[in-house]
Chains A and B, each alone.
Chain A
């Protein structure tokens, strides 16, 4: 593990809201290596999701910088290109479009992309998440676990190097939560893709190689988990 190159680096990241009255992150430093899995844990409001947003370029830090393979990433265009080519994101709330089928929701991630094998890529990822049979159903016709699998397929169809998952099992019952967690880690290992999971679930956190605890916007602990690279 020690020999792996750093994929994503966060240096001295600070972020506040409400004109500085709410300090979400204070001087956070974190490095994520290629193919590594990291769980971000902490209480609600500790700054985990805020850190994920900044690490994925969805939000801007007030201070500090984000590095991708050693190079600082700045600007909307650069971040959009990075999310397009190398980063996938899964949210707790799925964010699926209700009028599009599961397949069409996955295809959204490939809109504007040229290439002949788009259908093949969508079919492959739907097969990997076990949704081939239900791909043409609308989100309203799917269970919570199936919806999250569609969201996972949408995040992975571009074959990213890094997957961010913001409480991916937070809206699921225990059976579906286990299934989605298991699937996520299987794909992480198969694809040698780095994984950052924000979670309250200790059993899910223990599947990661590292567990980083955030308290009041600071990294208070960074220890190995039970996951194997």
Chain B
């Protein structure tokens, strides 16, 4: 009989309670993992969405993080194209609006540049004609609006004909309606304005040369030039997203603490029930170190099983959420190794404390008192 085997047999004495405790910890860790994956999923969705739709670099106004509030003059495009090292310039305007049924729609106006339209994948239908009230819909927003090719939908108090469905892969872009820039400028009363410029640099530029071009544009036009990851970083510092991430982190911590308290309660109850047994172990020659080790190993068994189960629950829950259209169509929801770090960093010390306190209680009593315990 080894200490580990004895600890294991003790847990099997109350299998239902052991299982429920493991499940409690697993659910706590799983909830934390899923919530953190959600927070990061929002950030990732932004990054992936921009990478899918834009070129190498994005030009945006300084000190603005809300993409619909970004305003740049349309005349800036010519200035950007004149910079040495810039191969192609295109522009986009972003507007949030709602349909007459109250559905919110993000609309992107795309400049009449062949290279820009080449980045718009079309699953079915065709590209909107320049100057006509036509729109392409992402498959998710098309489903939300219940619109098909040939239907007419109302956006910005105007009627648009749906001429195609885009084939974007990211959750962000699948919810966007796309139309020609001029059409959106007129419909949104933002004539001669764009939100961002996309820039492609000459091929063959070294990293230093690329940096020089970016610096020159920023100095000459008082704008910010970012790659797609940088722009995602900027947008994710938006207050709403920051609050959402903070909430998911806070709930994760609460969930993990609840899991730790669950373990503490179970082990305390177990130690209290086994007070006479612990007295007996002392009587047959066990020292305090051995008794503490026994209870710690029991806690460790439960904690490790709970954490491992929690990781599986987290991954399972994330997969489940991703498969629910109402969630998965909006947010990329794949847990990564980094999402496990915070829950496990909290859970492991909590499990140790949860086991150590009952162990300390067990050995703080005189063996004779323990043997008398009813």
Contacts and interface: CB of A to CB of B under 8 A. Distances in A.
Interface of A: 53, 56-60, 76-77, 80-81, 83-85, 87-89, 91, 95, 97, 99-100, 104, 107-112, 154-155, 158
Contacts of A97: 277
A88 B284 CA distance: 6
A100 B283 CA distance: 18
B114 interface: no
Interface-central residue, A77, A95, A154, A155, by most chain B CB under 10 Å:
A95
B221 interface: no
A137 B249 CA distance: 52
Given A91-B371, A104-B1, A108-B284, 5 more contacts: A57-B367, A58-B367, A80-B288, A83-B284, A85-B285
Interface-central residue, B1, B13, B279, B283, by most chain A CB under 10 Å:
B283
A80 B287 contact: yes
Contacts of B369: 59
B284 A58 contact: no
A100 B3 contact: no
B277 A76 contact: no
B100 to A, nearest CB: 70
Contacts of A58: 279, 282-283, 366-368, 371
A57 B287 CA distance: 12
Contacts of A95: 276-277, 280, 283, 371
B290 interface: yes
Interface of B: 1-3, 6, 9, 12-13, 276-277, 279-288, 290, 363, 366-369, 371
B265 to A, nearest CB: 22
A84 B287 contact: yes
B165 to A, nearest CB: 64
A15 to B, nearest CB: 10
Nearest to B293: A112
A85 B286 CA distance: 10
A58 B280 CA distance: 10
26 contacts: A58-B279, A58-B282, A58-B366, A58-B371, A59-B369, A60-B366, A76-B287, A76-B363, A77-B287, A80-B282, A80-B288, A84-B285, A84-B286, A95-B276, A99-B9, A99-B12, A100-B1, A100-B9, A107-B1, A108-B1, A108-B284, A109-B285, A111-B6, A111-B290, A112-B286, A155-B284
A158 B285 contact: yes
A53 B368 contact: yes
B13 A99 contact: yes
Interface-central residue, B3, B363, B366, B371, by most chain A CB under 10 Å:
B371
A59 B368 contact: yes
Contact of B283 (A56, A85, A110, A112): A56
B368 to A, nearest CB: 4
A95 B275 CA distance: 12
